[in-house]
Amino acid sequence: MPVRDEFINRDLSWLAFNERVLAQTTDTRVPLLERVKFLAIFSTNLDEFFMKRVGLLKLRIASRGGAEKTTHEGITLGRLRQEIRRRVIELQTRQADCWIEELLPALSRAGIHIRRYSDLGESRRAKIDRWFNTNVFPILTPLAVDPSHRFPFISNLSENFGLLISGPGSTRRTFARVKIPGVVPRFVPLETDDEDAHEFIALDDLIAHNLSRLFPGLEIKDVTAFRVTRSAALDEDDEDADDIMEQVEDELRKRRFADAVRVEAHPDASDEVLQVVTGQLGLDEQDVYQRRGPLEYADLLHIASLPRPDLRETPWRPIIPKALRDLAPIDDGRPRSGTPRGDADGPSETIFERIRQRDILLHHPYESFEHSVERFISEAADDPDVLAIKQTIYRTSPDSPFVRSLIRAAENGKNVACLVELRARFDEQRNVTFARQLEHAGVHVAYGVLGLKTHCKCSLVVRREHTDEGPGIRAYAHIGTGNYHPRTAQLYTDLGLLTADPVLTSDIVKVFNTLTGHAADQQYEKLIVAPGTMRRAFEDAIDREIEHAKAGKPARIFAKMNQLEDRAITRRLYEASNAGVTVRLVVRGFCCLRPGVEGLSENIRVRSIIGRFLEHSRIYHFADGSDEPLEGRFSIGSADWMYRNLNARVEAVAPVEDDAARRRLWSILDILWRDRFNAWELNPDGTYTRLQPDPDAEPDTPESSGTFASLMADALSQSPYHTEQG
């Protein structure tokens, strides 16, 4: 593919991203069990890629002109399908090599052994067989296929055995299927005399050696383990939906029975078994992926979670923001770790008093999500002066503290509204459950705007207070880059802004009015909202940099996001490059922009950071004609530069105007760009080159081999917001 082409294909760029994830598994600087975890993450990422992107590709081939239809990059859909297959096979081969040749031996040296059933002694086999008889055998269901038994339904991501069986002396072979149960741990612990060792047998290995018990009197001719992936590329058009919840529940039922897109098996799989499976599922040989190693690498998360702190990263202890220390204690009935202490003489200020003093920028997981964002909603739920709470929920944890706080607030008589996005991919069922819980408690639940997913991360608290004008009300808000999800807040880097700025909070009131009611063409003073104003705002900001460059003034764009795919924004960035604007982009995942091409994008550089925490925050900086970064424009929010974010979702991006907060944002961008420990550079041809630490650099700097999390924490500790770790 010539590098002069404008765009990199999205799907191939995504595979390049997952290749960077896979590289973590062979990086000996990463602790052993973390490497095993990344091996599993690589597979779960690939599962989602097949469910969403390959499922969509096959739909397009079937319905939009066939395999000769071309993409925006000029690749035919048939060729793209072939190239995806080639890259996936290459990556899965590297995955298997890493597991078999590197990680398994390293685990064994560390006292973690995965034994083969055939290698166990007679007494150990007898013990594990007795365990199998009690705990597994009653769950298994053999399903034969014959004139009186139809081919069984194979559920998405299920692991199965396909067998060919026959009666005594018969030459006729009958297909049968046995599903590996999902309710039993995939790695079964074995008894061992060494108290420091961990020994396991894989569940599928154990079942495979006991299959004959399921078919007494019959001969098993062939056994093949296989795994099926089904499409999740369903029609999401809800313009004509009478009830979004009913539509989502209907789509969940459809997804369960959606077309299969992939079958995985081992290299020695029976051709006859695979022919039966693919024939029944409507697949062809291009949809079969045969590879070594576990049938489901995500099962290795069980191994990665072993209690071996010596083989994993030191647990990160979030820093408590200085601005939120010594607050009055709250009691929501939930045990809290490291709760900020109150004054010795009694309760001190509320979180609202601190927010009134200045905007508070939060950086997770380096700063405590529990003692900031969770506390903001929890304290509001119990504060007698709080009149109303409004919040958006896109994804949250199964035991969400936010859901509990909103329910408690409603029970306390407050006006509570929650926008629950029912169409958050793969979290639909959970969100339907949350919506019903909230409605049952008296919360006003809305499902968003027809035709748009609500992806913005906003909370609003309205409080009765004495203002400068006398008794009245004041609004407080949180605007974030990540979900209201306590678990991912410990694993993803995200930013949040706590503010009482009356102009910004007034804009957020308008956002909620649009989400819960009906409003057309809302006018916002500070907040940038998609789909209404965001595209134009970003395009205008890029155009201003172009004009500054043409006028000989400093011109700079420095942005961090998850993905970059929007073609109009990309072309604007190419114009900026040709005008002399310096463009630096930190894009974690796929990037369709082609940097460093003479005459097209020679002033654009793109890097990706893959490390301990998943880089999820979005930061946008424009120089605005100044060499001094703090005189430029900074904003954070929920949107990437993707068509779906700018046109098909409700998103919110907020300006950051507090000087201390702006300094911190520039420090974050600076550390990211200087990093040589976790950084990759995007080349013009779509490949990535891993940057190497500078051996001559000062120790514990981004250019050296210092750990990235510690560097970021050190930067935060210089801020007036921060104190010692909590």
Active-site annotation, residues: 455
* Residue 621: alpha-carbon gap to chain centroid: 24
Report which of 723, 524, 561 is spatially closest to residue 639, judged by C-alpha positions: 561
CA angle 697, 699, 701 (to 5 degrees): 75
Q: How far apart are CA 11 and CA 3, in angstroms?
A: 17
Q: Is 242 exposed, middle or buried (0-12, 13-18, 19+ CB in 10 A)?
A: exposed
Instruction: Put residue 281 in one of left, alpha, beta given phi > 0 → left and psi -120 to 50 → alpha.
Output: alpha
In angstroms, rounded to a whole number, what is the distance separating the alpha carbons of residues 689 and 681? 5
List all residues 6 or more positions away from 211 whose beta carbon is below 8 Å from its beta carbon: 161, 163, 178, 220, 223
Specify burial of residue 724 (Cβ count, 10 A radius: 0-12, 13-18, 19+): exposed
Task: Determine the 3-state secondary structure of 210 from DSSP.
Answer: coil
Supply the DSSP string of 11-48, one letter for each residue.
HHHHHHHHHHHHHGGG-TTS-HHHHHHHHHHHHHHHHH
Output the six-digit token pair for 721: 């917001």
* Rounded-to-integer distance, Cα 67 and Cα 388, Å: 54
Sheet strands (E) in 610-693: 614-615, 619-622, 633-637, 649-655, 679-682, 688-690
**Cα distances (angstroms) measured from residue 112 to each of 107, 132, 214, 268, 300:** 5, 22, 31, 27, 12
The SS3 call for residue 337 is: coil
Q: How far apart are CA 714 and CA 708, in angstroms?
A: 10
The DSSP 8-state label assigned to residue 286 in this structure reads: G
Half-sphere exposure of 478 (CA within 13 A, CB side): 28
The answer to whether 161 and 180 are in contact (CB under 8 A) is yes
> How many angstroms separate the CA atoms of 162 and 178, rounded?
7
What are the C-alpha distances in Å from 551 to residues 16, 268, 544, 548, 583?
38, 67, 10, 5, 17
Which residues are bridge partners to 493 per DSSP?
615
CA dihedral of 470, 471, 472, 473, whole degrees rounded to 10: 110
Please say whether the beta carbons of 462 and 435 come within 8 A. no
CB atoms within 10 A of CB 233: 20
Yes or no: say if 327 and 343 are a contact pair by the CB < 8 Å rule: no
Residues in the chain: 726
Q: By the 8 A CB rule, do 577 and 660 touch? A: no
Token output for 399: 């035991």
Whose structure tokens read 């975890």?
Answer: 37
Q: Please compute Rg for the chain using Cα positions.
A: 28
Per DSSP, 4 falls in state: T
Report yes or no: 53 and 83 within 8 Å, Cβ to Cβ. no
**Three-class SS of residue 66?**
helix
Beta-carbon count within 10 A of 268 CB:
8
